[in-house]
Structure 1
Amino acid sequence: MLRIVDELAGPGPLRICAHAPADGDPGTALRVLLIADVLARVVEQRGRAALIGWTGPAQQVAAAGIRPPDAEGDPESIAEGLGGPPGVQLSSGTYEGAGVAGLQVGAATLPPLDGLDLLAVRLLLLSRPYEEPVTVTAEQVDEAARAMARWRRAVADWATQPSKPIPADLKSTARSALDNRLDTAAVLRLLHDLATDDNVPPGAKFETMSHLDRVLGLELVREVGTV
C-alpha cells in the first residue's frame, strides 16, 4: 500500500516516471498518465515539488486535464531530464526496478475518445481505485459530463455566498484518503455527500470543492462568476 506522506517525504522534488503501455492500449495509457498527474498534485499540495517523466505514447492528455511531462523518452533520458532517478514508477504491470516506490495501475477499457468530454472520462477513472481494472462506455461518459455540469452550476452558486472554512472532519478524511492510498474514489464520494448535506453552509461547500478539485482536476470552479 502506498503511503504518500510516509514513503515519499524527502528533500528536493519528487521525480515520478509514468510508463504508458505502448501496445495499442490507449485507455490504460491514459489512465497511467492520469494517476501520475494526480500523484503529483497531491505531493505539491503537501508543499513538495513534483517532476513527471513519461515513457510510451501519450494521446489527448491535455483535454483530460493532464499536465505535460517535464521529460519524455526512455528511462535513462527521463532521469537525465528530471535531474535524477525517479522515486516513483507507475505502470500497468509490475515494475521490476529496485530502490523506488511503485504503483501498478489497473487496465482501462475506453470507448473511442473523439467527441467525448475527456474531463468526464477523468471523473469516471477517478471514481474507481486506481489499481482496479475499469471499463467505461460512451453512455457513462455522457452521464458523467451531465453530473459535472450540475456540480459546476452548484459550485458557482455556492461561490456567491459568504465564505466559510472547510469543515475540519471533511478535510482530514480527504487528506487521509489521498495520503494513504491515493483514494480519489473516496474523495469523490465525500464530495457527492457534501453537495446534498444541508448542514454544511454553501460557503464551506464552495471552499471544500475548490480545494479538493486542485487534486481531482475536474474544473469544478469553471462557472464561478457566471451566475
Structure 2
Amino acid sequence: MLSIVDDLAGIGPLRMCAHAPSADDPDDLTGLRVLLVADVLARVVELRGRTVLIGWTCPPAASADAAGIRPADAHGTADEIAEALGGPPTVHLTSRTYEGAGGLSLHIGEATTTGGAAGEGDRDALALRLLLLSHPHHEPVDVSAQAVDAAREKLANWRKAVAAWADEPSKAMPAVFVERAGAALENGLDTPAVLRLLGDLEAAVDVPSGAKFETFAHLDRVLALEVVRDVGRSHSTEVYR
C-alpha cells in the first residue's frame, strides 16, 4: 500500500513518471487510467505543499485533457523524462511490472470497455473519471454504458446539490469527514472511500448546507469532477440539506 505521508514527504519537487500504454485499441482505457491515477496522486501530494513534476511515456491525449488530467511536464522515454524534469522520477505508475531501477512503483489495474461505452465529450469524460475513481486503482475495471450513465447521473445530482448549498451561509468543514478523507487518500490513495464519504455527507441531516459545500469544493481539488460547475447558474428552488 502506498503511503504518501511516509514515502513521498520530502524537500524539493517530487518527480513522477506515468508509463501509460498506447491507446491503439479504443476499448482499452488502461492508459487513460494510468494518467488519471498519476493526476490524483499529484494533487494529493500538492495539497501537502510539495511541487510535483510528471512525465508521460506516451504522447499527449485529448481524452486525458477532457477527463480533467493536467498536461505532462515532459514526454518521451524514461531517460528523456529524467533529463527534462531535472532528475530521475522517484515514483513510477504502470499497468505492467515495472522493470526500472530505483524509486517506488504503483501498479494500476486494467480498464476496458466495449462498444464505445465510455462515450464522447467533456461530460462523459468526467463521468468516466468518476467511474474510474469509484474503483480501487489496482483492481481491473470493466466499463459499461450503464455504469457510465449512472456516474453521469450521480455527478449531475452532486452539481445540482452543490449549487444549492452555495446559496447558504458558509460553514466550517466537518472535521470528521475531512480527516477520514485525508487518511484514505494519504494511505492507499483510496478514492472509492472518499466518494463514499461524500455520499454520506450529502445525506447527513445534521451537517449544515454551507459545510457540505465547503467540503465538496475542498475535496474536488483532488477528485477534479467540477462539482462546483453549476454554482451561480439557475437551478431548482429545492434546497439540498
TM-score normalised by length of structure 1: 0.96
| Conserved? CA contact 1:210–1:220, under 8 Å | yes
Which among 40, 43, 65 is matched to residue 42 of structure 2?
Answer: 40
The CA distance in 2 between the partners of 1:20 and 1:190, in whole Å, is 30
Aligned to 2:173: 166
> Does 1:115 pair with 2:115?
no
Aligned to 2:54: 52
The CA distance in 2 between the partners of 1:45 and 1:134, in whole Å, is 27
Which among 85, 88, 91 is matched to residue 91 of structure 2?
Answer: 88
Deviation at 1:23, TM superposition (A): 6.8
Aligned to 1:3: 3
Q: Deviations over 1:168-204 (max 9, x none)?
A: 1111100000000000000000001111111110000
Deviation at 1:98, TM superposition (A): 2.6
The CA distance in 2 between the partners of 1:115 and 1:129, in whole Å, is 24
The CA distance in 2 between the partners of 1:76 and 1:8, in whole Å, is 21
Matched pairs, number: 227
Amino acid in the other structure paired with 2:111? A
Aligned to 1:202: 209
Which among 5, 29, 32 is matched to residue 31 of structure 2?
Answer: 29
| Conserved? CA contact 1:29–1:57, under 8 Å | no
| Conserved? CA contact 2:59–2:75, under 8 Å | no
Aligned residue for 2:129, secondary structure, equals helix
1:114/1:169 CA distance change after superposition, 3 Å: closer
Deviation at 1:9, TM superposition (A): 0.8
Aligned to 2:239: none
Q: Deviations over 1:27-64 (max 9, x none)?
A: 00000000000000000001001111000255311100
Which among 142, 160, 165 is matched to residue 153 of structure 1?
Answer: 160
| Conserved? CA contact 1:21–1:57, under 8 Å | no
| Conserved? CA contact 2:23–2:31, under 8 Å | no
Aligned residue for 2:180, secondary structure, equals helix
Aligned to 2:16: 16
Deviation at 1:214, TM superposition (A): 0.5
Q: Deviations over 1:69-111 (max 9, x none)?
A: 0000101110111111101000001212232011000000134
> Does 1:126 pair with 2:133?
yes
In structure 2, runs of 5+ residues without a counterpart are 235-241
Aligned to 2:145: 138
| Conserved? CA contact 1:30–1:58, under 8 Å | no
| Conserved? CA contact 1:20–1:58, under 8 Å | no
TM-score normalised by length of structure 2: 0.91
Aligned to 1:64: 67
The CA distance in 1 between the partners of 2:109 and 2:50, in whole Å, is 27
Aligned residue for 1:61, secondary structure, equals helix
Alignment identity in percent? 61
